[in-house]
Amino acid sequence: MNMVKMQLLSFRYGKKDVLNDISMRLEPGKIYGLLGENGVGKTTLLKVIAGLQKPWNGSCSVFGENPFNRTPSFLSRIYYLPEELEYIQNDYSIRFFAKINGPFYPNFDNEKFEAILKEFAVEGDKKLNSLSHGQTKKGAIAFALATNVDLLLMDEPSNGLDIPSKTLFRRIIVEYVSDNTCTLISTHQVRDLENLIDPIIILDNKAVLMNASLEEISEKLYFGLHSTIPTQALYSEPVPGGYLCVMENDDLGESKVNLEALFNATMQHKKRMQELFVANAAETSAPSLRPE
Amino acid sequence: MNNNTFQFKRTGKLIGRTFQQNATTMRNTALVLAAIPIFFLLLGTLTSGEGASLGVRGEILTILVGVFFVISPFFFYKLYNHPKKGLPEVMLPASVLEKFVAMQVTCIIVLPLMAILFFGGVDALLTALFPNLQSGYAIAYFFNDKVTEEAFLIMFLTLQAVFFCNLLFVRGKVFKTIASFVVVNMLLSIVLVSLIMFMESLGFFDEISDDVHINLNEYDLFGFFGEENPLVVSGFLFKLFMTVVLPIIFMIGSYRLMKTKRY
């Protein structure tokens, strides 16, 4: 069952096109990584799914509803964690924030909230406007996870976290995200989400270039270290000991997907990548659903 | 009613949330309100040997209730349509109708009631404790002399206009709201004066006595149906528009803004 269905969705701010004919589907129980260059429309896409923005054209359906209607049944099943934390930097603590907002989410779990706060070592009773950016972000993440919603949207959640916290963040997401929750995490810092996200969605403002699982990616692409750059390499970068190369996988065997190299290879060979990941290409050309 | 449209339970939770969210500010406001009658009593006693007159205290209470009534949307919901700070409100699992009703109830009741309870209550207490220093109850003066249907309708119209402006403007709300009020009043005055001058040029007033006096407040809201004088009927229609139609237009406009706001 698809939680999110987008068909030929377009969005523009004034005369500036941000998203053009974007189509994709998201399923429950997966942690999707939404990758894309700065300004490509990742935040806008999350806002459309969250019902904060209305598509200019095409359709977006979440749990079978038009998200822009913002019905209670829709809002109680979704949580959007924005990149900027102005919304939460108030004269009260994260515990108070949870106390006044938690009861609106039917599956809010206060024990889980407290456990995550403890793991993140966040001072739950300290006023949010006196906490550091990183601490505030951890508090906001703890609340988002404790809502136990079906669809969790996180915009650049690792921004502002120090290195140990980024590792902790990955572990907490794996441990605390409910089994049936569909999580969509946008980032332009792909290394932060290594070993966490699967499937991978790579976006540019013209199309979804890739929406594929790591297994599918490693079946179709090979990531390897070579002393020289092979002629068939789609992408290469110098690393200690040679070159990290991305090639089409013609019986080269399985390899570990390097997200940063994958992203760069996709940016350099957009059309070929779309062709390789056929399911996504077919999705893109599917007929449009009408808005509800 | 549909579970997704309106539930009293969720609306009550929203009102409770507003109280919790603003508890500190409300407590401080209550303390200031309670301190004002004490301040006036002390000031009066020190300067003239007795507290402020009932008229002065009653007028202060009236002004406080009026001001609190009108500014309550800014007090409680200033951030509702802020593109970043408004997210917790708009993403809260409740329908737009529930949020709208909770906001209206809070604005109409909470702040004005605070002024009545804390200013009026302390004033009454002081009168009871020190009858030789001040006499009469401001709260009684307010309810007997100031609370009229006419006054309530005008305040309700003003509240709905402020409520609408609070949702319409994102930044500089207070200044833009005041500026809008000034501009709209000026435009209305110009239109009315032009209309009267136009009617006069047509000779409409030639047969009407110079001494004619129309007091619209002498009639109830729909009293104009029995009148035949076109001037009286026009006046009543204008009054009906201002006190009934316009607040409804503002309320529908506010609801639409909440429903269609993009963040």
The type of residue at A203 is: L
Chain centroid to Cα A20, Å, comes to 19
Confidence of residue B105 (pLDDT cuts 50, 70, 90): very high
Give pLDDT tens digits for B207-242. 665 655 666 666 665 555 555 667 777 778 888 898
Summary mean pLDDT of chain A:
90
* Phi and psi at residue A231, to the nearest 5°: -65, -30
* Phi and psi at residue B12, to the nearest 5°: -60, -40
Average of per-residue pLDDT across A278-291: 42
* Residue ranges of chain A whose CB lies within 8 Å of a chain B CB: 47, 50, 52-54, 70-73, 75-76, 78-80, 82, 84, 86-88, 91-92, 96, 99-101, 103-105
Rounded alpha-carbon distances, angstroms, from residue B8 to A98, B15, B19, B109, B255: 22, 11, 17, 17, 18
CA distance A270 to A262: 11
Buried b (16+ CB within 10 A) or exposed e, A194-214: eebbbbbbbbbbebbbbbbeb
CA distance B24 to B64: 20
Average of per-residue pLDDT across A56-72: 95
pLDDT for the residue A199: 92
Tell whether B38 lies on the interface with A, counting CB pairs under 8 A.
no
CB A236 within 8 A of CB A244: yes
pLDDT for the residue B222: 58
Strand order in the sheet with A221-226: A221-226, A242-248, A233-239
Tell whether B1 lies on the interface with A, counting CB pairs under 8 A.
no
- Judged by CB atoms closer than 8 Å, whether chains meet at A73 and B91 is answered as no
CA distance A245 to A236: 4
Segment holding A75, helix H or strand E? helix A72-75
- Domains defined along chain A, listed by start: 4-77+150-211 (3.40.50.300)
**Of the segments A183-192, B129-138, B175-184, B212-221, which one has the largest average pLDDT value?**
B175-184
Average of per-residue pLDDT across B175-181: 96
**Any idea what the Cα angle at residue B12 is, between residues B7 and B17, rounded to 5°?**
130
Segment holding A242, helix H or strand E? strand A242-248
Partners of A212 in the β-ladder: A200
Cβ neighbours of residue A159 closer than 8 Å, sequence gap 6 or more: A83, A137, A189
- Whether residue A238 is predicted with pLDDT greater than 80 in this model: the reply is yes
pLDDT for the residue A205: 72
Looking at per-residue pLDDT, the higher value among A216 and A285 belongs to: A216
pLDDT for the residue A119: 95
Q: A–B: how many Cβ contacts below 8 A?
A: 62
pLDDT for the residue A134: 92
Closest CA to B101 of B164, B15, B24, B19: B15
- Residue A252's SS3 state is coil
Confidence of residue B163 (pLDDT cuts 50, 70, 90): very high
- Judged by CB atoms closer than 8 Å, whether chains meet at B13 and A71 is answered as no
Rg (CA), chain B: 23
CB B102 within 8 A of CB B11: yes
Tell whether B171 lies on the interface with A, counting CB pairs under 8 A.
no
Closest CA to A219 of A245, A186, A252: A252
Closest CA to A115 of A137, A96, A142, A141: A142
Segment holding B179, helix H or strand E? helix B173-201
- Judged by CB atoms closer than 8 Å, whether chains meet at B24 and A101 is answered as no
| Cβ-based contacts of B21 with chain A (< 8 Å) | 92, 100
The type of residue at A51 is: G
CB A266 within 8 A of CB A273: yes
| Cβ-based contacts of B92 with chain A (< 8 Å) | 75, 101, 104
- Whether residue A206 is predicted with pLDDT greater than 80 in this model: the reply is no
**Of the segments B1-5, B43-47, B96-100, which one has the largest average pLDDT value?**
B96-100
- DSSP codes of every residue in A16-46: EEEEEEEEEEE-TT-EEEEE--TTSSHHHHH
pLDDT for the residue A146: 97
pLDDT for the residue B232: 73
- Whether residue A83 is predicted with pLDDT greater than 60 in this model: the reply is yes
Q: Which of A121-125, A192-196, A282-286 is predicted with the least confidence, judged by mean pLDDT?
A: A282-286
Average of per-residue pLDDT across A48-72: 95
CA distance B52 to B64: 16
Give pLDDT tens digits for A178-188. 889 999 999 98
41-60 of B, contacting A, C-beta below 8 A: none
**Any idea what the Cα angle at residue B197 is, between residues B194 and B198, rounded to 5°?**
85
Distance from CA of A199 to the nearest CA of B (A): 27
Tell whether B215 lies on the interface with A, counting CB pairs under 8 A.
no
CB B86 within 8 A of CB B99: no
Tell whether B132 lies on the interface with A, counting CB pairs under 8 A.
no
- Whether residue A286 is predicted with pLDDT greater than 50 in this model: the reply is no
Summary mean pLDDT of chain B:
89
pLDDT for the residue A288: 36
Interface test with B, best of A11, A44, A71, A152 (most B CBs within 10 A): A71
